Amino acid sequence: MKTLGIFRHAKSDWNDARLRDFDRPLNPRGRKGAALMGLHIRDHAVPWERILASPAVRVTQTVELACEAAGMTPSITWDRRIYLASSATLIDVLREQEGDPAAIMMIGHNPGLEDLIFDLVPDDGNSPLRDIVEEKLPTAAYAVLDLAIDSWDQIDLNCATITHLQRPRDLDPALGPDLGPDSFR
């Protein structure tokens, strides 16, 4: 059995149209959400042995704020392939992991992370948490999956069960969706 954590970056800022997508920072709501989720991840107490993350600015800021709030200083592997990756690419990154850690957290972007959950967790009607993800895996959401595998190179479709899902809005309603013009970005 392996454990996979999925943490989507917090809400990013769209105000500077000159910035490349890769360089977009977090907005104030994202900064608050990242810190709050850092505390939740700490309190959820999964011993993450390896953290793999996209090096995009909004991800690095999410990680920095979450770790600062939680008082953690984990070792992080920044992998450019995670930036805007498809589920298939994310699975390839996971299959390559050496040293056989029991628990890996991946921090990145949608739609790849959401699709990864859909590919790993069967759509068999027995997962209310998967059903919530089908509505949307919002920014700064955190999910935990148990994988029925002995090593990461065995990861395959429908090998997981989603055991935990936390959205920022469930901890602080002010971090829920706003219905303004940029609410679906």
DSSP conformation class of 86: -
Query: Rounded to whole angstroms, how far apart are CA atoms 71 and 171?
Result: 19
- For residue 122, give its domain range: 2-12+22-174
Count of the separate structural domains present in the chain? 1
Predicted confidence (pLDDT) per residue in 43-81, tens digit: 999 999 999 999 999 999 999 999 999 999 989 999 999
* Residue 147 contacts residue 159 (beta carbons within 8 Å): yes
Residue type for 135, please? Answer: E
Asked if the model's pLDDT at residue 184 lies above 60, the reply is no
User: What value does the mean pLDDT of the chain take?
Assistant: 93
Per-residue b/e over 163-180, b at no fewer than 16 CB within 10 Å?
eebbbbeeeeeebeeeee
Asked if the model's pLDDT at residue 148 lies above 60, the reply is yes
Mean pLDDT of 85-93: 98
Exposed/middle/buried for 160, CB within 10 Å: 0-12, 13-18, 19+?
buried
Mean pLDDT of 134-149: 96
The pLDDT of residue 66: 96
Mean pLDDT of 26-49: 96
* Residue 133 contacts residue 165 (beta carbons within 8 Å): yes
Predicted confidence (pLDDT) per residue in 101-120, tens digit: 999 999 999 999 999 999 99
pTM score, two decimals?
0.93
Whether residue 67 lies inside any domain: the answer is: yes
Which pairs from 73-77 meet CB under 8 Å and 24+ separation?
74/48, 75/50, 75/51, 76/51, 76/52, 77/50, 77/51, 77/52, 77/53
Mean pLDDT of 132-158: 97
Mean pLDDT of 15-43: 94
Whether residue 179 lies inside any domain: the answer is: no
Whether residue 42 lies inside any domain: the answer is: yes
Q: Helix, strand, or coil here: 99?
A: coil
Confidence of residue 182 (pLDDT cuts 50, 70, 90): very low
Confidence of residue 173 (pLDDT cuts 50, 70, 90): confident
The pLDDT of residue 178: 65
Exposed/middle/buried for 156, CB within 10 Å: 0-12, 13-18, 19+?
middle
Return the CATH number at 119.
Answer: 3.40.50.1240
Whether residue 127 lies inside any domain: the answer is: yes
Whether residue 17 lies inside any domain: the answer is: no
Whether residue 185 lies inside any domain: the answer is: no
Query: Rounded to whole angstroms, how far apart are CA atoms 170 and 115?
Result: 22
Whether residue 183 lies inside any domain: the answer is: no
Whether residue 102 lies inside any domain: the answer is: yes
